[in-house]
Structure 1
Amino acid sequence: MPEAQKTTLKNWPRTAKGGGKKACTVEGCKRPYRAKSYCFFHFKKWRQGELPHSRYRTCSKAECRVKTEKGGLCAKHYAETYKTAAA
């Protein structure tokens, strides 16, 4: 690529919203917030469903963090709970 056609990254490095004055809402985190009141690190964890307040409704069974399908349960636990009688 010729020198004249190099592209430059716009808005880089990324800066925190709020001018860095507002902190992440996770207890003990002092990083400036980026989105959804989380810093970049906790926002990524939120998107992946690793925080208690997850992106989607999760299965109501203990220790199951899978997205719900029906009745507050994931597909696996719903099938276990409401087995259909095979004719």
Structure 2
Amino acid sequence: MAARPPCGSVAEPSCPAHGLSTNSSLIGGQRIMSKAKAKAKQVKGKMKETTGKAMDDEGMQVEGRGEQIVGKTQETADKAAGRVKRTGR
């Protein structure tokens, strides 16, 4: 009997024993990337806001707060999409 490739590999992308399926692993990877980008945008915004405060640049502060809001909105939307996918609706 031939040895099976490890579950989750390219040759064996799904493994019911470990709860892996082709679709869920791909979607999970996309969600992680999306979450990372949203967090990065929040951090970038916070840095911009802090720099604006240090330089007494109100425009930069506002721009930084805006980026933080966009990042938080993206993160919230991603969480909602994940919940919808998990419920199957």
TM-score w.r.t. structure 2 length?
Answer: 0.31
- The structure whose RCO (Cα within 8 Å, separation 6+) is larger is 2
TM-score by structure 1 length?
Answer: 0.31
Look at both structures and tell me which one has the larger radius of gyration over its CA atoms.
Answer: 1
